[in-house]
Structure 1
Amino acid sequence: MNKKILIAASILGVLSVILGAFAAHGLKESISEQALGTFETGVKYQMYHALLLLFVGSSTYVSLSSKKAIFYLVLVGLICFSGSIYGLATNELTSFNFKSIGFITPIGGLLLIISWIILLINFLRIKTDNL
């Protein structure tokens, strides 16, 4: 499981850098300043959660069941949250109206919040003797 989490974290990190560069150089002239800021928010949250997965995948303080839950919550959460933000920010460039699926953005955000809560609960359960 650790290897899968670390690979996913690396892929999400690489994609964050690529999407950030694309926004700064490729989208700058094509979308509004506000839409560009929105797109960059999606990139930031993707990178934050790539780093979270790097930590989770390499930590001995996180139980296997928590690792699995966090992994899947972060993946689905990022697809819903950052993915919908990317679509909404570039809505004027596509023929699909991403505003029609904008309701999934907060669902993705909630999944990301739950992943952090699971991590917190996992840490609260650690016996102080094990630290």
Structure 2
Amino acid sequence: MIDASALDAAAFFAARLEFLTDVSDVHRDLPDGGFVLVDTRSGTAWDQGRVPGAVHLPTAELPGPLDPGTPVVVYCWGPGCNGATRAGLALARRGFAVREMQGGIEYWIREGFPVETAAGRVERAPDPLTAPCGC
């Protein structure tokens, strides 16, 4: 029989997988649609580079023009920032189905995925410490 702590751990990890996604999954799924990707950073950060196809909606402006019937994935700077978590909470409280992209734009860039800037699309080599993860 599984003890209570193992059941609690299973519930914890299941909840994380329900409400978190990673940059590789977003990169794979974004072209197919089915969700809107929201960059919650400041205008200055957005101008420096963003995930192609993302919508810019800083947390203070949420929910903005988002359709409550469309799932949302939010991201911010990276793992050292809880901006996407705050944005996810704000959207969930308004009835949106929402997930957070773990690692934010930092890990998007570190995995070598393209970034859109005012000058066009930029691609960098993946950081060998982060990609390919293979999980």
TM-score, normalization by structure 2: 0.26
> Greater CA radius of gyration, 1 or 2?
1
TM-score, structure 1 as length reference:
0.26
